[in-house]
């Protein structure tokens, strides 16, 4: 994930405000502290920058390379990269200087379409363009940026994924757009600026979403300390052009920004309501303004209105998250709870379910929270495996082991790593049948494996720590099962199913030499043995190990090694000390 970044204008202004508030001695102390913070490898560079910008010293910016020379280098780099792409396409890897056949895995690896050296050259060229820009050489910088982004456009037309260097592409494009704006006359400005702003750069798979790798108008404004000239006459034409582009992601985001500048919040509200569910980014933009203004109660009201309009999916989930944040800021616990459940309804997944239930439990509404989830699923006649697995977790948290077993009882002994979460139900049955014995290490392993596998992911690109849902569900499922006070008869009936599918799973894995699954077979075998041991049937537990490790699979040393590992991690099984 990229670190947070700041545009040049607010960055320089913030530094200036700090420096101008200091005395000469304080400023000297500050520079010395900054110097001391540099690593040993960065000290010479820091010293060079100090010398370069000291009064009376010629600025390194004035020594930037000749523009024609830069253009020649860009053309040479383009030809070099295109030759490389052609060689890779033809399978002629021997023509590549950086390809090592000995280090390559023939089935999986292939060279990057841009070599590390070419990537470094591209960075250097953008650095030169940036130097021209910062020095105020607008026309020259525009010429170089035009060539660089033209190079990238030509390479991207190949249809391949290109591993570009990790530059701040939003800022680089903002600088280019600022050059175009400042260097164009009023008649040509709109068309040229629109081209530089890449209005069609929404995501291919989601045309309604803005691509944040491309700048907004505010980024272009902040690329330099000087104000953009002629904005009063520019805004109306810019707004008209954006309105003609429709409400896809990037044009709509730029239009919202422009309306805010020209008409204020009232204009944004009008646009958001006009777009409604067709483009929910209007509501999200408006809600962001309300949150920044501290109007949390109003944000809650607007978020609820938007949630009712938008169908399930990512945007409804984002709106629900705003309701959570606004309610929390307003001190409204019920609103936080409502928002978290709306997130779950919008995008049912492990993360959202665990967060909603955790919030309900915090406010002593566990039973009510489970009822909400069960009511959400119970009317559904058809469910995907993802939904079934989430429903199953809710049933288990509610102590309804019988219903969970019913959902998986016809499942096969193999394939537990996908489809229905048979392993989780098996682990729950074993845990209940063992009386929730704390020393049952194998059962814990089976449960954790079932819970670590995330069946339903959020539509968001970023979710919280993946361990959080599994840890939450582990505790709450066991709490729910224990609270249900399941009778020995019912756990015994379910354990018959667990024995049948568990024994078959071990046989199917080991007899077919699925070596990568030997550890899972050992966990299942150990879980069955732990149940018998917890019930005092130690001889039956011993016989299990004898049957599978001595009689059936005595020659499968790798499997037996995994079984010994499971035994070593179980306080219950250590007491058996089986010999095989």
pLDDT of residue 458: 44
**481-524 residue pLDDT tens:** 999 998 888 888 999 999 999 999 999 999 999 999 999 999 99
- φ, ψ of residue 493 to 5 degrees: the values are -65, -45
Q: What is the pTM of this model?
A: 0.80
Say if residue 126 is in the same domain as residue 215.
yes
Of residues 450 and 208, the one with the higher pLDDT is 450
Say if residue 108 is in the same domain as residue 211.
yes
**Is there a domain that residue 150 lies in?**
yes
Own/partner pairs, 327-333, CB within 8 angstroms, 24+ separation: 327/296, 327/300, 329/291, 329/294, 329/296, 330/296, 330/297, 330/300, 332/300, 333/363
Contacts for 577 with CB less than 8 Å, ≥ 6 apart? none
Beta-ladder partners of 203 = 206
Say if residue 76 is in the same domain as residue 50.
no
Beta-ladder partners of 206 = 203
**Is there a domain that residue 390 lies in?**
no
Say if residue 125 is in the same domain as residue 223.
yes
Say if residue 462 is in the same domain as residue 481.
yes
**Is there a domain that residue 330 lies in?**
no
| Distance separating alpha carbons of residues 562 and 57, to the nearest angstrom | 70
Say if residue 283 is in the same domain as residue 430.
no
With CA atoms as reference, report the closest residue to 563 among 80, 349, 212, 546.
Answer: 546
Q: Is 545 helix (H, G, I), strand (E, B) or coil?
A: helix
Say if residue 33 is in the same domain as residue 109.
no
Say if residue 159 is in the same domain as residue 277.
yes
Owning domain of residue 174:
66-292
**284-331 residue pLDDT tens:** 999 999 999 999 999 999 999 999 999 889 999 999 999 999 999 999
Question: Domain end: 245, 262, 292, which one?
Answer: 292
Say if residue 70 is in the same domain as residue 53.
no
Which DSSP string do the residues of 282-331 spell out, in sequence order?
A: HHHHHHHHHHHTT-HHHHHHHHHHHHHHSPSSHHHHHHHHHHHHHHHHTT
Domain count, the chain: 3
**Is there a domain that residue 93 lies in?**
yes
Give Cα separations from 272 to 209, 241, 278, 323, 344 (angstroms).
15, 18, 10, 17, 24
**Is there a domain that residue 400 lies in?**
no
**Is there a domain that residue 238 lies in?**
yes
Say if residue 24 is in the same domain as residue 148.
no
Q: Are 258 and 206 in contact (CB under 8 A)?
A: no
Question: Domain end: 292, 323, 345, which one?
Answer: 292
Q: Would you call 60 exposed, middle or buried from its count of C-beta atoms within 10 A (0-12, 13-18, 19+)?
A: middle
87, pLDDT greater than 90: no
pLDDT of residue 431: 97
**Is there a domain that residue 533 lies in?**
yes
Say if residue 527 is in the same domain as residue 429.
yes
Q: Are 442 and 569 in contact (CB under 8 A)?
A: yes
Say if residue 137 is in the same domain as residue 190.
yes
Helix (H) or strand (E) holding 181: helix 169-183
Q: Are 71 and 151 in contact (CB under 8 A)?
A: no
Of residues 576 and 442, the one with the higher pLDDT is 442
**Is there a domain that residue 104 lies in?**
yes
| Distance separating alpha carbons of residues 401 and 177, to the nearest angstrom | 61
**352-407 residue pLDDT tens:** 999 999 999 999 999 999 999 999 998 887 899 999 999 999 999 999 999 999 99
């Amino acid at each position: 994930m990229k670190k947070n970044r700041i545009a040049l204008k607010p960055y320089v202004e913030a530094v200036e405000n700090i420096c101008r508030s200091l005395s000469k001695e304080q400023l000297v102390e500050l520079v010395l502290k900054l110097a001391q913070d540099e690593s040993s490898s960065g000290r010479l560079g820091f010293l060079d920058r100090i010398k370069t910008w000291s009064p009376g010293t010629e600025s390194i910016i004035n020594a930037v390379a000749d523009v024609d020379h830069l253009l020649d280098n860009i053309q040479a780099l383009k030809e070099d990269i295109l030759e490389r792409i052609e060689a890779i396409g033809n399978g002629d890897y021997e023509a590549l200087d950086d390809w090592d056949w000995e280090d390559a895995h023939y089935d999986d690896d292939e060279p990057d379409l841009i070599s590390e050296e070419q990537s470094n050259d591209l960075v250097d060229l953008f650095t030169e363009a940036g130097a021209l820009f910062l020095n105020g050489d607008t026309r020259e910088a525009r010429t170089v940026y035009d060539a660089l982004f033209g190079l990238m456009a030509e390479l991207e037309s190949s249809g391949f994924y290109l591993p570009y260097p990790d530059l701040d592409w939003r800022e680089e494009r903002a600088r280019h757009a600022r050059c175009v704006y400042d260097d164009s006359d009023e008649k040509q400005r709109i068309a040229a600026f629109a081209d530089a702003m890449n209005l069609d750069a929404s995501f291919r798979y989601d045309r309604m979403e803005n691509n944040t790798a491309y700048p907004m108008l505010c980024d272009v404004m902040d690329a330099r300390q000087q104000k953009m000239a002629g904005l009063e006459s520019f805004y109306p034409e810019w707004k008209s052009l954006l309105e003609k582009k429709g409400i896809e992601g990037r044009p709509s985001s730029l239009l919202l920004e422009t309306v805010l500048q020209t008409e204020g919040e009232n204009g944004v509200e009008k646009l958001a309501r006009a777009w409604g569910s067709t483009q929910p980014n209007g509501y999200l933009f408006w809600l962001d303004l309300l949150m920044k203004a501290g109007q949390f109660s109003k944000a809650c009201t607007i978020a609820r209105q938007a949630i009712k309009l938008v169908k399930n999916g990512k945007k409804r989930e984002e709106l629900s998250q705003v309701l959570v944040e606004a309610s929390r800021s307003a001190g409204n616990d019920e609103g936080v709870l409502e928002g978290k459940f709306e997130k779950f309804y919008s995008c049912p997944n492990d993360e959202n379910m665990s967060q909603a239930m955790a919030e309900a439990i915090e406010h002593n509404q566990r039973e009510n929270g489970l009822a909400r989830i069960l009511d959400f699923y119970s009317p559904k006649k058809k469910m995907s495996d993802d939904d079934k697995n989430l429903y199953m977790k809710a049933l288990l948290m509610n102590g309804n082991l019988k219903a969970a077993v019913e959902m998986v009882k016809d499942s096969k002994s193999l394939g537990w790593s996908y489809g229905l979460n048979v392993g989780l139900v098996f682990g729950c049955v074993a845990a209940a049948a063992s009386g929730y014995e704390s020393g049952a290490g194998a059962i814990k392993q089976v449960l954790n494996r079932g819970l670590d596998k995330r069946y339903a992911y959020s539509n968001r690109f970023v979710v919280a720590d993946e361990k959080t849902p599994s840890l939450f569900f582990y505790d709450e499922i066991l709490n729910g099962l224990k609270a249900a006070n399941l009778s020995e008869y019912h756990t015994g009936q379910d354990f018959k199913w667990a024995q049948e599918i568990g024994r078959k799973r071990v046989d199917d894995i080991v007899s077919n030499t699925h070596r990568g699954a030997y550890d899972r077979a050992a966990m299942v075998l150990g879980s069955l043995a732990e149940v018998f041991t917890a019930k005092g049937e130690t001889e039956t537990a011993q016989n299990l190990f004898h049957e599978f490790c001595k009689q059936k699979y005595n020659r499968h040393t790798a499997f037996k090694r995994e079984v010994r590992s499971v035994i070593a991690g179980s306080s219950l099984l250590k007491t058996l000390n089986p010999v095989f």
